[in-house]
Structure 1
Amino acid sequence: MSSTRKQQAGSHAHMGHGQPVLDQLRAIQKSIDELKASILVSQTSKAVTLGGGSTGGAAQAASTFLSPLMSRYDLGAEAERHGYKTGVELGVQTGAFAEYALKTWPSCQKYYLVDIWKTQENYVDGANVPQEQQEQYLADAKRRMQPFAAKAVFLRNFTSAAAPLIPDPVDFVYVDARHDYCGVVEDLGLYWPKVRSGGMMAGHDFIDAAEMTKINEKEHWEVCQDGTKHPGAVRGAVVEFFQRLGLAVHVTYRDGPWNSWIVIKP
């Protein structure tokens, strides 16, 4: 309300017309309450639609709600809360994340661990260690997965070659393979279609190449496998990919510089 209208309302009240003013205020409040109610209905309807249909009501809305996550180590419990049964991890290294995820996700029935465990060219990344160390990483991952042998499936291959070997659909994909823009774009393009409606895709290291170089000047995530350069790295690839789809990207809020990103599939 403008200052002029405020002055007019005040003078009318002082002139003995208080009841009409009160009636107007009640009418305005009623309109506001009706608007709030319509917004709530709209939001609830939208949440149910994201859950895969109109049946199930509140239960489906709850299944698509993403709690604010402190770190990637909350993802296993979140997958359990959503009732997910199948998962894929791209870029496994020593299996530390897979181990923690499966400990907090007991109802998982199948978990695919995809990694080439091989030294790569044009990959200026701390994870690109000599081959002897790669073999040790694989041995560590297998040891960590021993308690989950019935559900853990190792696929020692490039993520692109492994994609057709994994049955569709899957509930959860965690992207943490190559961190250059080209590699991340490829992984998103190959694995997002595999995620079922209501499923989740997430990934590690939500930063760009410049941010990474500030953290460690020896790492250059702008360098793609073919030798070309792109400054976006993980962050640029993820933002561009899901912006085109009109989907919100959630980010963990207490993961140091290595925040994870998360997207629920409509």
Structure 2
Amino acid sequence: MNYFHKTFNKNNGESPVQLGLKRNQLYHHFNNMGLKVGAEIGVATGKNALRMCEQIPDLKLFCIDPWEYYEKNPRVRHWQENYDQAVEKLKPYNAILVKGYSEEVVHNFEDGSLDFVYIDGNHMFDFVMQDIILWAPKVRKGGIISGHDYYNFRNAGVVDAVDAYIKAHKIEEWYLTSDKTPSWMWVK
């Protein structure tokens, strides 16, 4: 029985389990689980990565983002400023900033080498699904596969991608935070 099941599941197995936590409280529980090596896909200015580093002492965090103009997401105009902010915020921590697209960078990681992954990159269905498919094997058994923005907005496909993956892989218990823009997760 996993930590989140023992701590939060009061639904008799119905998913998603509402954690009653905000995203900024989630990483405290990652720390309680002993998760010390993680990757965040889609880092932008490093705000969420900073939260992770602050709440998980001794965390080794791979921060993966292209930090460049991206024609499939032209709204990201200030990528150099975002990168500079991330560098500055994460300087005191064991955060390794990796410039590159997640589907290319993933091949630098061995299967089972991560305690968790947090997916917050391109929110279009194909990209979310691709990130889950490519990064899930990199997480060890008992680790966490997670991400951000489980709600319907603009042309985002996070909800559909997460739901499809969960159904296809018969994941029986998974979790949501109670933020306005919820995080989703399950234990591998």
TM-score in same-fold range (> 0.5): yes
Higher relative contact order (CA 8 A, sep 6+): 2
- Please list every run of 5 or more consecutive structure 2 residues that lacks an aligned counterpart in the other structure: 9-18
Structure 1 segments, 4+ long, off by >6 Å, are: none
Partner of 2:129: 185
Which of 85, 99, 121 matches 1:156?
99
Q: Distance in 1 between matches of 2:61 and 2:41?
A: 11
Partner of 1:238: 162
Say whether residues 1:119 and 2:69 are aligned partners.
yes
Say whether residues 1:88 and 2:32 are aligned partners.
no
Report the identity percentage: 27
Say whether residues 1:260 and 2:178 are aligned partners.
no
Q: Distance in 1 between matches of 2:110 and 2:141?
A: 15
How do 1:160-239 and structure 2 match up within 5 A? 160-168=103-111, 169-208=113-152, 212-213=153-154, 220-221=155-156, 233-239=157-163
Normalised TM-score (structure 2): 0.87
- Cα offsets for 1:112-168 (capped at 9, x unmatched): 0000012222336xxx322xx1100000000001110xx211110000011011244
- Cα offsets for 1:148-199 (capped at 9, x unmatched): 0xx2111100000110112442101000000000000100110001111100
How do 1:16-165 and structure 2 match up within 5 A? 47=1, 61-62=2-3, 65=6, 67=8, 68-108=19-59, 110-123=60-73, 128-130=75-77, 133-148=78-93, 151-165=94-108
Aligned-partner SS, 1:147: coil
What letter corresponds to residue 114 of structure 2 in structure 1? V
What's the CA shift for 1:65? Answer: 3.7
What letter corresponds to residue 206 of structure 1 in structure 2? Y
What's the CA shift for 1:245? Answer: 1.3
Q: Distance in 2 between matches of 1:188 and 1:250?
A: 15
Q: Distance in 2 between matches of 1:183 and 1:63?
A: 27
Aligned-partner SS, 2:26: helix
- Cα offsets for 1:65-91 (capped at 9, x unmatched): 454251111222111010111000000
Aligned-partner SS, 1:155: strand
- Count residues with an aligned counterpart: 176
- Please list every run of 5 or more consecutive structure 1 residues that lacks an aligned counterpart in the other structure: 1-46, 48-60, 214-219, 222-232
What's the CA shift for 1:243? Answer: 1.4
Normalised TM-score (structure 1): 0.63
Q: Distance in 2 between matches of 1:137 and 1:195?
A: 27
What letter corresponds to residue 138 of structure 1 in structure 2? Y
Q: Distance in 2 between matches of 1:197 and 1:63?
A: 14
Q: Distance in 1 between matches of 2:32 and 2:26?
A: 10
What's the CA shift for 1:62? Answer: 4.2
Aligned-partner SS, 1:114: strand
